[in-house]
Amino acid sequence: MLDDLAIRLRQNIGLVTAVLLFCIFYLLYNLAHPRGFSSAVLVQNSDEIFALAMLAMAQTVPVLASGLDLSVGAVMTMVGCLASYLLTGTPLPLELLGLHLGTFPGGITGILIGMLICVGIGAFAGFVNGCVVVYGRIQPIIATLATGAVYIGIALFLRPTPGGKIDEDLNWALTNSLGDFASTVHIFDDGAASWFAPFAWIPVPFVLLALIALLVWVPFRRSVLGRSVYAVGSAEGAAYMSGLPIDRAKIAAFTLAGFFAGCGGLFLAIQTSSGNADIPQAGAYTLNSIASVVIGGTSLLGGTGSAIGSIFGAMILRVISFFFRIFDIAPLLQPLFEGLILLAAVSIGALRVLRVKNTLELFR
Amino acid sequence: MTTATLRLSRADRPILFAGLFIFIILVAGTAYTFARFGSAPLLSPTYLLQQLQIGAFLGIVAAGMMIVILIAQIDLSVPWTLAAAAMMATSIGGPLAIPVGLGVGLLVGIINGIGVAYLRVPSMIFTLGVNAVMRGLMVAHTGGYAPQTAATDLMRTLASERTLGIPNALFVWAAVSVLVAGMLQRTPLGRHIYAIGNKEAAAYLAGVDTRRVTVICFGLCGLAAALAGVLLAGYSTKAYQGMGDAYLLPSIAAVVIGGTNILGGRGRYLGTLIGVVLIVLLNSVLSIMDMPEAGRQVIYGLVIILMLLVYGRGDRVTS
Amino acid sequence: MQDARLAQSGFLTLTGISKRYAGVRALEDVDFACERGKIHAVLGENGAGKSTLIKIIAGVVQPDAGTMNLAGNHVSFPTPSAANAAGVVCIFQELSLMPDLSVADNISIASPPRRFGLIDARAQRRRAEHLLADIGCEDVNPLMRVGDLPLSRRQVVEIAKALGKKPQLLILDEATSALTSADVEKVYAMLARLKSEGVAILYISHRMHEVEALADRASVFRNGRHIQTFDKGARSTAEIVQLMIGRDIAAQYPAKPARQVGKPALMLENLSWEKRLDRISLAVGAGEIVGLGGLDGQGQKSLLLALFGVLRGTSGRIMVEGRETHLGSPAAAKSAGIALVPEDRKTEGLMLPMSISDNLAIASLDAISTGPFVDRAKESAAIERGIARLQIKIGTPDDAVSTLSGGNQQKVVLAKWLMTEPRIILLNDPTRGIDVGTKQELYRLMRELADQGAAILFYSTDYDELIGCCDRVVIMYDGRIVRELEGDELTETNIIASSLNVHAATSADSTAGAAHA
């Protein structure tokens, strides 16, 4: 039994390290914060973490298949801009080329349908990525570079300048604690039910993150298709010989990435109550998603790692920037420190290199 | 290598297609301008020279990027290396401006090379970190604003002035091109680069010092980015925040459109040259058409995919 | 009655199968049949068409012409999984395992046990334990990552995976090459059991003693054609080899000259590395071919890598031509006049997509340069010389080296090194996967190079080669040299005995060489 535990630990050392690092950092942060360990701080933190965590999950899946998705930031932005139209809570007349096509509903129905459409569009964008990579036989890095430009273009088309609005109740409900969510949506006695009290402080973004991870990622990972993604990233030729559905696995990986990126974009729009086609921000999110994946213990070569690790990687990155706020480090020095820490974090893997005795292994 | 034959080899196809596409762009653009303005600015030498002058900056960055892509790596630190070189050059000023700027680029490149070759950190992630550090250094150094000091006269001359009617920047780009193409085609270093890009283990076992070559390649890429930064500062007469951001993805796109395999080991410099011209002309045609940014991005992405579908496709994995 | 008839008709029959790859006829109008409950060996040298035949049966490639029948029904397998579905399972030479996944995952990779639509990890693990126990290899822990296992264990996992697919026809393509002798016995037992259950078995192996022991019937292929099929014992080894290469194999090895004791070109004193090399002391003289023998994995390959500067942290002294040398990298070894023909030519010896001339020139660019530039004239001349000297069969020097046959590819590797004019040549199993014709050329070349003054250290897994080519053979066991054999002592018996670290009772059991027990 202990033997097996040791084996599992060794195989998941990246994930375990990321979790431990995050716990240590977050503990230190709360200790140093004047209002640490309070629900307010927790809520604020989780609001700022959610989008990057979703993008980190998005980036993980293609990386596992030994690919890369440089369009995750663009998909996020595109879906966010779309959301700023569909989630206003008021009916939206649909016109195309001067023809009145109908009205997109307002109210709760509109919001729910709008959210579904947004997430669906994200998944569809991912599906297109997958098809270009698989059927076009174009390398993922350059294929997603190109599709990312297309998605950003669509985002700019939707919102040439930042605008739109999000239903206020929706914004309030999803960016605060469970108690606030309950009172806005009028369930559980408006949040006052006694059995509910111990849970009322939990931030909603955290719950959403946990739900998405548990209901989407975990079942996918345990499915044959999910395992095929790992197999393709580990040894594509062997996966073919073993009769695994390689093409479907790759397309599924990119589609799931688009889905997660769409979730991130949806939340970002709700949180900022607007749609903003910010190209530098999209680029920054994409690059940070790659960093989160690496810090979270997933190998850029594919075949090993987990989206859960990437979530912790994203959280570590965000918590580091939180530190700057409380330690009152000169704002001018913040980017430098962030850069140095990122560089140090990704160079940790270099320690392994020093122990290698057969130099041929470095090239495999 | 034997003398060139007229066979349409795999290496020539991208160059031919990219050239063809440039031709198509010129024709379509001229048709548009003729219909709309009754003139053909795209075909005027002055206009073309001016566009190529702006393209020189991208061309120099792409030359450096190509070297790194050939050894199956990538350099994401180009944006802030470019900016840092420009900012340091303008800060220092005087006769040392350009050498200092280039020195910054070379130093950053060597650091990248050490991280990738000796620490074996994947280049994508290491250069990403270095980019963040360079940004941090420059923000701290300049206080977050554009540096007040201006570019030196030499920088301005090189970037904006003309000799014999041709912009100096083009001469610089041409010189860089000759050096890079010559290095890749004619020198042992060039052979080593292609060998490493194809199979680093085999090159290593053939006695190639793969680590040193990797450091050299990243050094050259940093140097190229710095040169572009110094020239850009000369052209704009000053350095400014984020001046390098617009050069990263287009330089990668130009290299790939020109037929260089993103996985390394294959590609000719002529292709990169044509790729840069294609992107620059595409940009200018879209400008003339007053295409909003949204449309530009979409067209940019579609063009890349189209070109790659024609000649960038990989092989089906069967074993 | 019914059973007897079934047993006699072919379970798998191929009729008129042909396959061609880019102008090369891999298989030409092949008729073939094998039966249930019998082990059927497929013999032939490399390039004879064996692996193409196997790939067609296993669904990896499609034939250009011909038909396949399984148990009387016409079949065609567009993918490996289609073949699996029909009960045809192949254990490939290049394993089909994913190194980052666990043993249990790999064994049940394509159709795992499921619960609520998701993979049932516990049932999968039990299945893996069960299958591994069937082969008798319970020591493999199903949770282990396949990439962390040594090659012999990975081969066991591959076999268990194949067993789990409940084969009706099992194909083994060099499936035992890396197994320990204990494991090989277990595999034989497993095959015997499958035989009794009526499974048809196709067996490819280059080890004649294995084939003699196992096969009930054997088929010989040559140049893409099916030459003959015969029962166990109907042909002698010599006759079989004759069928395989189609010509007389006399005088396979070049003559060895009388030994002149020259100065040692290479001398090792107490060379050690990690736990793989243990105080190796060895001298190789100019003009000598010294063989490295012993079982797989006793440190022979590590020794060659150490001598080429690939290993870090070696201790002991290495002296090249009398001068102590520190070999810190392959580049340093090259400067010292050492050359290495590596183990895997496809990933270590050649850049496959590059041209033949680029591959040939890569190690000697300094010699063909004038100033900072590569001199095209010098390069072409050197390349022509290299191609001519080894008689490499190519189209043009600009062709990609991937278009060459295995034997010619190995010649390119060797030619590349000969262009550096090395004084010490290290050969890491250079004839593996090479056809007999090219092998003979290589043996002659080795002797020629030795006669010209090179010192050659030659590792081979083939005893015949060691005996035929080498002036001296040192046997390694557990990272040490346990025996040196030369002259009359250089016999197969002695090699085998020393490999197992057993003292054989032979007449000339001299004190030459260290024999630590």
C27-48 pLDDT, tens digit each: 889 999 999 999 999 988 766 7
Contact B209 C329 (CB under 8 A): yes
Q: What is the dihedral of CA A19, A21, A22, A27, to 10 degrees?
A: 120
Which secondary-structure segment (H or E) carries A339?
A: helix A334-347
Neighbours of A253 (CB within 10 A): 33
Per-residue b/e over C15-49, b at no fewer than 16 CB within 10 Å? eebbbeeeeebbbbebebbbbbbbbbbbbbbbbbb
Lowest mean pLDDT among C200-204, C262-266, C365-369, C409-413: C262-266
> Which pLDDT belongs to residue C80?
86
In a domain, A79, yes or no: yes
Q: State which of C245, C277, C308 marks the end of a domain.
A: C245
Number of A–C residue contacts, CB under 8 Å: 85
Q: What are C132-168's pLDDT values in tens digits?
A: 998 888 889 999 999 888 888 888 899 999 999 999 9
In a domain, C347, yes or no: yes
Per-residue b/e over C245-261, b at no fewer than 16 CB within 10 Å? beeeeeebbbeeeeeee
Residues 238-277 of B with CB under 8 A from C: 265-266
Q: Name every chain C residue with its beta carbon within 8 A of the beta carbon of B209.
A: 329, 331
Q: Determine the structural domain holding residue A322 and report its residue range.
A: 42-92+104-346
In a domain, A97, yes or no: no
Contact A231 C348 (CB under 8 A): no
φ/ψ region of B301 (left if φ > 0, alpha if ψ in -120 to 50, else beta) reads alpha
Q: Are B266 and C352 in contact (CB under 8 A)?
A: no
Q: What are A191-213's pLDDT values in tens digits?
A: 677 777 777 888 999 999 999 99
In a domain, C506, yes or no: no
- Residue C308: pLDDT band (50, 70, 90) is very high
Q: What are B170-229's pLDDT values in tens digits?
A: 999 999 999 999 999 999 999 999 999 999 999 999 999 999 999 999 999 999 999 999
In DSSP terms, C484 is beta-bridged to: C474
Across the interface, of C94, C98, C141, the residue whose CB is closest to A303 is C98
> Which pLDDT belongs to residue A37?
82
Res. C3: pLDDT tops 60: no
Q: Quick one: closest CA in C to A224, which residue?
A: C119
Contact A335 B245 (CB under 8 A): no
If asked whether residues C148 and C293 sit together in one domain, one would say no
Q: Nearest 5°: phi and psi at A293?
A: -60, -45
> pTM (2 decimals)?
0.87
- State how far the Cα of A364 lies from the Cα of B184, in Å rounded to an integer: 25
CA distance A7 to chain B (A): 26
What are chain A's partners, defined as 3 or more CB pairs within 8 angstroms? B, C
- B40: helix, strand or coil: coil
Query: Exposed, middle or buried: residue C105 (CB in 10 Å: 0-12, 13-18, 19+)?
Result: buried
Q: Quick one: closest CA in B to A360, which residue?
A: B201
Q: Which two tokens stand for residue A203?
A: 């931030």
CATH code at position C471: 3.40.50.300
If asked whether residues C73 and C218 sit together in one domain, one would say yes
In a domain, A26, yes or no: no
- A235: helix, strand or coil: coil
> Which pLDDT belongs to residue C251?
54
In a domain, C513, yes or no: no
- State how far the Cα of C349 lies from the Cα of B269, in Å rounded to an integer: 27
In a domain, A27, yes or no: no
| Mean pLDDT of the region C472-486 | 90
In a domain, A297, yes or no: yes
- Residue C517: pLDDT band (50, 70, 90) is very low
In a domain, A318, yes or no: yes
Q: Are A84 and A71 in contact (CB under 8 A)?
A: no
User: How many structural domains compose chain C?
Assistant: 2
If asked whether residues C235 and C314 sit together in one domain, one would say no
Q: What are C108-123's pLDDT values in tens digits?
A: 998 899 998 899 999 9
Contact C348 B205 (CB under 8 A): yes
Q: Does B209 touch chain C (CB under 8 A)?
A: yes
CA distance A134 to chain B (A): 9
| Mean pLDDT of the region C255-273 | 83
CA distance A59 to chain C (A): 19
Q: Name every chain B residue with its beta carbon within 8 A of the beta carbon of C366.
A: 188
DSSP state of B45: H
**CB within 8 Å of C352: residues ≥ 6 apart:** B198, B199, C346, C400, C401, C402
CA distance A137 to chain B (A): 5
Question: Which of C276 and C241 is assigned the larger pLDDT?
Answer: C276
Q: Determine the structural domain holding residue C120 and report its residue range.
A: 2-245
CA distance A216 to chain B (A): 28
> Which pLDDT belongs to residue C5?
38
- The share of chain C scoring above pLDDT 70, in percent, equals 91
Mean pLDDT score of chain C, rounded to an integer? 86
Neighbours of C405 (CB within 10 A): 15
- State how far the Cα of C128 lies from the Cα of C143, in Å rounded to an integer: 10
Give whichever of A254-263, C2-11, C242-251, C310-319 has the largest mean pLDDT: A254-263
The amino acid occupying position B21 is: F
Q: What is the pLDDT along chain B (319 residues), one digit of tens a residue?
A: 433 444 456 667 888 888 888 888 888 888 888 888 888 877 888 888 888 998 999 999 999 999 999 999 999 999 999 999 999 999 888 888 999 999 999 999 999 999 999 998 889 889 988 998 999 899 888 877 777 778 888 888 888 888 888 888 999 999 999 999 999 999 999 999 999 999 999 999 999 999 999 999 999 999 999 999 999 999 988 888 889 988 998 999 999 999 999 889 999 999 999 999 999 999 888 888 888 989 989 998 999 999 888 876 766 555 4
Q: Name every chain B residue with its beta carbon within 8 A of the beta carbon of C354.
A: 194-195, 198, 265
Q: State which of C210, C245, C280 marks the end of a domain.
A: C245
Res. C8: pLDDT tops 70: no
In a domain, C256, yes or no: no
> Which pLDDT belongs to residue C41?
92
In a domain, C188, yes or no: yes
If asked whether residues C293 and C213 sit together in one domain, one would say no
If asked whether residues C88 and C163 sit together in one domain, one would say yes
Contact C353 B198 (CB under 8 A): yes
Q: Are A205 and A49 in contact (CB under 8 A)?
A: yes
If asked whether residues C337 and C240 sit together in one domain, one would say no
Q: What is the dihedral of CA A166, A169, A174, A180, to 10 degrees?
A: 160
Q: Quick one: closest CA in B to C357, which residue?
A: B1
Q: Quick one: closest CA in B to C419, which residue?
A: B206
DSSP per-residue codes, C340-363 = EE-S-IIIII--TTSBHHHHHHTT
Q: Are C413 and C390 in contact (CB under 8 A)?
A: no
Q: What are C314-357's pLDDT values in tens digits?
A: 999 999 988 899 999 999 999 999 999 998 888 899 999 999 99
Q: Does B186 touch chain C (CB under 8 A)?
A: yes
In a domain, A174, yes or no: yes
Q: Name every chain C residue with its beta carbon within 8 A of the beta carbon of B192.
A: 362, 365
Question: Which of B290 and A331 is assigned the larger pLDDT?
Answer: B290
Q: What are C171-194's pLDDT values in tens digits?
A: 998 777 767 778 888 888 889 999
Domains of chain B (ranges plus CATH)? 12-28+41-308 (1.10.3470)
Across the interface, of A223, A238, A243, the residue whose CB is closest to C98 is A238
> Which pLDDT belongs to residue B315?
63
CA distance B125 to chain A (A): 7
Contact C99 A243 (CB under 8 A): no
| Mean pLDDT of the region A21-48 | 88
Q: Does B211 touch chain C (CB under 8 A)?
A: no
> Which pLDDT belongs to residue B305?
92
**CB within 8 Å of A249: residues ≥ 6 apart:** A65, A225, A228, A229, A231, A232, A239
Mean pLDDT score of chain A, rounded to an integer? 89
CA distance B312 to chain A (A): 6
What are chain B's partners, defined as 3 or more CB pairs within 8 angstroms? A, C
The amino acid occupying position B137 is: L
- The share of chain A scoring above pLDDT 70, in percent, equals 98
Give whichever of A160-174, B196-210, B302-316, C205-219 has the largest mean pLDDT: B196-210
